Amino acid sequence: MKILVCISHVPDTTSKINFTDGDTKFDTNGVQFVINPNDEFGLTRAMWFKEKQGATVDVVNVGGPETEPTLRKALAIGADGAIRVNTPATDGYAVAKQLANVVKDGGYDLVIAGRESIDYNGAMVPGMLAELIGANFVTNCINLEVDGTNAKAVREIDGGKETVSTTLPLVIGGQKGLVEESDLRIPNMRGIMMARQKPLKVMEPVDVSTETSTVKFEKPAPKGAVKLVSPDNLDELVSLLHNEAKVI
């Protein structure tokens, strides 16, 4: 089985979110970038397939050279090879088109992406990719088993979960549950050394046009201070929720 894991290069959760160029661009100054958490669960599940069932695992990112440390980290965790499509990630559709080209070029059977990235939260690349390459697609995936070309997946739905049967080629929108958080791997020294020797291929992008464009960003208005209510005066809390917040 050939597995491709899509890796988004995203600001760490604790990052301060600021914008530059007249609020049209994310300000990367001083920001620590990490593997998108949803992708990390998928990468670890891919490692499980590699070790238990035999698979090769490549990772891919669409972005400039600044994303390579994130790909190297994925190699240090255990991926066999990395691909960087040398173009900025503009919109979800353009990224999906680039990834579709990578999947066709590499003949992958299983693509594991995260359900969404924690920066733009679009939740659109995995589904668009699946449709562009004519693969089956399961998102919000919290468990995945593959047997030959058959797959069983569990999808989280509103208020529960459902189990589905499908076949490869398959695209997964993964999340926590694919593996548990305690199973996530931290690169060790040996992995980091080996990652330096592993191939990181730079692919030139195919020609695609975007479908959406960012006009500007805006930060939410600063929040007022919390109103503290004494635990001995819960009537006041009920009254505030009813009369002031109007939520009950």
Please, which of residues 50-89 interact with another protein by CB under 8 A? none
User: Contacting another protein (CB under 8 A), which of 1, 192, 203, 240?
Assistant: 240
Distances (CA, A) of 128 to 96, 136, 202: 6, 11, 23
CB of 59 to another protein, least distance (A): 19
CB of 1 or CB of 132, closer to another protein: 132
CB of 152 to another protein, least distance (A): 8
Phi, psi of 186 (to 5 degrees): -105, 130
At what angle are helices 68-77 and 189-197 packed, to 10 degrees? 120
Q: Which of residues 28-47 bind another protein (CB under 8 A)?
A: 37-38, 41
If one asks whether residue 130 binds another protein (CB under 8 A), the answer comes out as: yes
CB of 105 or CB of 131, closer to another protein: 131
Q: Report cis status (omega within 30 of 0) of the bond before 205.
A: no
CB of 207 to another protein, least distance (A): 16
Whether the CA torsion 60, 66, 70, 72 is positive or negative: it is positive
Q: Residue 185 corresponds to which tokens in the numbers above? A: 């791997």
CB of 128 or CB of 195, closer to another protein: 128
The DSSP letter of residue 67 is: G
Q: Which stretch binds another protein (CB under 8 A): 43-51, 63-71, 75-83, 90-98?
A: 90-98
Q: Which of residues 199-228 bind another protein (CB under 8 A)?
A: 210-220, 223-224, 226-228
Q: Give the span between the Cα atoms of 78 and 59, in whole angstroms.
A: 10
CB of 18 or CB of 56, closer to another protein: 18
If one asks whether residue 243 binds another protein (CB under 8 A), the answer comes out as: no
Q: Which of residues 166-195 bind another protein (CB under 8 A)?
A: 166-167, 175-177, 180-182
> Locate tokens 């919290």: which residue?
142
What lies within 8 Å, CB to CB, of 93 at 6+ separation is: 124, 128, 208, 210, 211, 212
CB of 240 to another protein, least distance (A): 6
CB of 14 or CB of 197, closer to another protein: 14
Phi, psi of 201 (to 5 degrees): -90, 130
